[in-house]
Structure formats: C-alpha cells, structure tokens
Amino acid sequence: FRIMAGKVKWVTDIEKSVLINNFEKRGWIQVAENEDWNFYWMSVQTIRNVFSVETGYRLSDDQIVNHFPNHYELTRKDLMVKNIKRYRKELEKEGSPLAEKDENGKYIYLDFVPVTFMLPADYNLFVEEFRKNPSSTWIMKPCGKAQGKGIFLINKLSQIKKWSRDSKTSSFVSQSSKEAYVISLYINNPLLIGGKKFDLRLYVLVSTYRPLRCYMYKLGFCRFCTVKYTPSTSELDNMFVHLTNVAIQKHGDDYNHIHGGKWTVSNLRLYLESTRGKEVTNKLFDEIHWIIVQSLKAVAPVMNNDKHCFECYGYDIIIDDKLKPWLIEVNASPSLTSSTANDRILKYNLINDTLNIAVPNGEIPDCKWNKSPPKEVLGNYEVLYDEEMAQSDGPDRDLRSRPGQSTGVKGNRARDSGKPVLTTWK
C-alpha cells in the first residue's frame, strides 16, 4: 500500500530511517533493498511539481501530502512579513480591537515581527528608517534560503555593497544575479542564559486552514550560540555570536556534540519560573501561542487549502530581555536530522504524533474526513486553535479570558487598563 506516488528527496539517511520506521510501524510499506518505493513525506519542490498546472496530476481521496501547495506565503521571509502587514491593515479597516495602537502608533497586540523591509524594492524606505536611528543594527537575510546561509549584519549604509546604487535616481538597484533580501531591525537585547543568545524552535501542525485548526507540539527546544553574546560592533561578523542555527554552530570550536547546544522548552520554562516567576513565564508562553495563531490567521485567506494537505511548521522565536517574544521566521521543512540522542527521540516522536493526527489509527487515508482527531491520538500535541469551536463560542471570544486563568496574552496590561483580556484559545 503506497500513500503517495511521487518520489521523496531525502535530506539525510537519518531522516529517511526515522520516517521508514514510522511508516513500517503502521504497516504502510514493506521495504526491500531493490524495491522502488515511494512516500508522501515530500520535499517542497516535489509538492510544487505535484500541484503544478503543467503536470496535470490529480490526487485521489486516499493520498495525503505533507505541505500545502503555496506554503511559501508563510515560509518565505518576505511573504510572511507582507501577509502579516496586510492582516494588520485589514483588521484596522474593520475597526477590530486587535489592531489597536498605542500613543506612539505601535500595535499593542500585533507587534510581534521586527521592523522589516524588502530589498531592493523598499530600499528608500529602509534608508529613511535607518537615519532615524543611525546607531541601530540590522540583519540581512536572503528570502529563499535556510540554515543561516547568506545572512549578515550591518550598522552602516555603506556596508550594503553587494548591490549598487543608481547615481541618477538614488534608487537601490539589485544586481541581476542577486536574489531578494529582507532586512530587519536586529533584536540586540536578546534574553541571555549563561551569557549566550538562544532562540526557540517550536513545531506547529496545521491540519486545515479553512476552518483553521492547528496544534502545538509540547517538545520544542532552545538552540544556543556557542560564543557569549556581545552587542559590540566589532563582533558583527562573528556568526557564532549572533546566529543560533545548528548548521552554523556545529562548526564552532566550542560546539558540544553531546547536548548539541540545545535545551528543552520544559527546561527553559523551569529556568524562567525560578528566575522571573511563574506568572511572568505563563504570560510569555501565552504570548508565543498568540503570535503563532495570529501568523496563521494572517495567511489563511491566501493559503490554498487543499483537502489532501497538512503541514508541520518549524517556528523560530526569539525572546528579548524584557521577555517579549518576536517571530523571526517559519520553516516549511524543519530539520528532522538528529544532532544528539535526545534530538533523535524528540524527532521520532514528532513524526509519530504528526502521522497519528494526519492519518488517525494508521488507517488508509481519506482526505474527506473531518480532520478533528480524538484527544487520545494527539500524543505530545495539544490543540492550539480551532476556528469552528471559536465561531460556536461567539465572535468576541478573542477578547475574553480563559476560564480559570488570571492573565491572557496581554493579561497585565489589559487587567490594569480595565480592558478585556486577550487570549489565544477560543
């Protein structure tokens, strides 16, 4: 029995073996050395080919794939920012309280992505913003790359010499060989543990966008830099200080191959509860959940919600020293490669729990099922947002606190001002 026709491009033998074990466990495949077997765990390029108009391929009801056709609306750095900006503007036009701004014109509830511009298109806007605060540091990233490739930091306009300026128009002109970049205000006050910068890798499963139903994986982890953080401009080129990507850090002299520079999310929570307090820690994680739900809502209207699709995203979140979380990017193909023994266990369980939700009870897939599995099959996933449940609860549910909770997403601010408490759960 084969779920998907179309070969998978495996990233590593480790990923391949973990997936095979999970598929065999369900009796979906039999592996022989000379057998030409296929899976439905596909690379993003394979997905594009499957849904391409030119191929004329049509999936049957028992075929399910692990990406939405235009997942890049969320997972390309420039498109994610564009869709979140559009979402905020639409909520403003509707007069939604979620789009409320403070006296400085900043969004109170939807300010969760750093100030970002697209280059070369927004070059003049970027220059205008840069000159408001010439001492600021910015981080440049190619829109279509991952694992820290092509990323660099700048704190002077003259440092952007990979492109050229048109002297007549003073406009920013990209060389034809260069791809588009995003440039974002660098979070130069990250929360440090042991003097080192870290970010969070969190896994979120979306089974359907309309209605939106998503699940949060409880076993995420922190990725630490190997070198202690310093905001010194002399260290801007030291990626071991600034970038948490394992693909970069594993080449550092201080990289630890036993723990891989990783901490579990539960360890982070314990650390924060002991150093900052339980209420503050709960508020932080509530805000992180809020960010994830709002980012998914931002792309839901433009996502091709094909009934054959589900997707497990890798969210990258950075926390600053004021315990404010920031959404950095969302990955369509979060690495399943194991860098440590604990990593292998986590990712094996991630695949196992993802498949149990996508195809409950290991049965033959049916894309027409209601995609609302029973609680007992969720494993380490928990329901983060269920739009159908939200609608049945009433349109103002966003602005009501969860039963039994003293704070919501912006709990302290809302409680002090007498305004309703925002919450991620509906």
**C-alpha 109 chain-centroid distance:** 18
User: Are residues 300 and 289 both part of a single domain?
Assistant: yes
196 part of a folded domain: yes
402 in any annotated domain:
no
Tell whether 209 is covered by a domain. yes
pLDDT band at 407 (very low <50, low <70, confident <90, very high): very low
* Residues 231, 202 share a domain: yes
314 strand-pairing partners: 203, 331
**Do 56 and 99 sit in the same domain of this protein?**
no
Span 165-181, pLDDT tens digits: 543 444 555 444 457 88
- Kindly state whether residues 135 and 276 are assigned to the same domain: no
Backbone angles phi, psi at 315, to 5 degrees: -90, 135
In a domain, 422, yes or no: no
- Whether residue 314 is predicted with pLDDT greater than 90 in this model: the reply is yes
Say if residue 148 is in the same domain as residue 290: no
CA separation (Å) from 43 to 37, 49, 51, 86, 398? Answer: 16, 10, 13, 28, 35
On whether both 125 and 222 belong to a single domain, the answer is: no
- In the block, residue with structure tokens 């600053």: 320
* Domains of the chain: total: 3
In terms of domains, do 109 and 246 share one?
yes
Averaged pLDDT, 226-242: 73
Instruction: Take residue 73 and report the two structure tokens written for it.
Output: 């609306």
**Pair (277, 197) in one structural domain:** yes
- Residue 229: the pLDDT is 85
254 near 227, Cβ under 8 Å?
Answer: yes
286 and 324 fall within a common domain: yes
> How many C-beta atoms surround the C-beta of residue 116 within 10 A?
21
pLDDT digits (tens, 9 = 90+) for 119-169: 888 989 999 999 999 889 998 888 877 666 778 888 888 888 655 454 344
Name the DSSP class of 41. Answer: -
Please tell me the predicted confidence (pLDDT) of residue 22: 62
Residues 164 and 102: beta-carbon distance below 8 Å: no
Q: Answer yes or no: is 396 within a domain.
A: no
- Give the end of a domain, one of 186, 207, 242: 186
CATH code of the domain covering residue 276: 3.30.470.20
Evaluate whether residue 395 is within a structural domain. Answer: no
pLDDT (tens digit per residue) in 212-225: 999 999 999 998 88
The token duo for 141 is: 């990233």
Q: Which residue has the tokens 């002299």?
A: 253
Q: Residue 103 to residues 98, 107, 128, 291, 326: CA-CA distances in angstroms? A: 15, 10, 21, 22, 21
**One domain for residues 152 and 260:** no
Pair (308, 248) in one structural domain: yes
CB 331 within 8 A of CB 71: no
State whether 218 and 243 are in the same domain. yes
For residue 140, the enclosing domain spans 115-156+178-186
Flag whether 207 is in a domain. yes
Average pLDDT, the chain: 78
How far is residue 203 from each of residues 75, 108, 110, 149, 229, measured CA to CA in Å?
Answer: 13, 26, 21, 22, 26
| 263: in domain | yes
Write phi, then psi, for 16 (nearest 5 degrees): -60, -45
**CA 396 – CA 201 distance, rounded (Å):** 31
Of 175-179, 204-208, 254-258, the poorest mean pLDDT is in 175-179
Cα-only R_g, the chain: 22
Describe the crossing of helices 341-358 and 13-25 by its angle, rounded to 10 degrees: 40
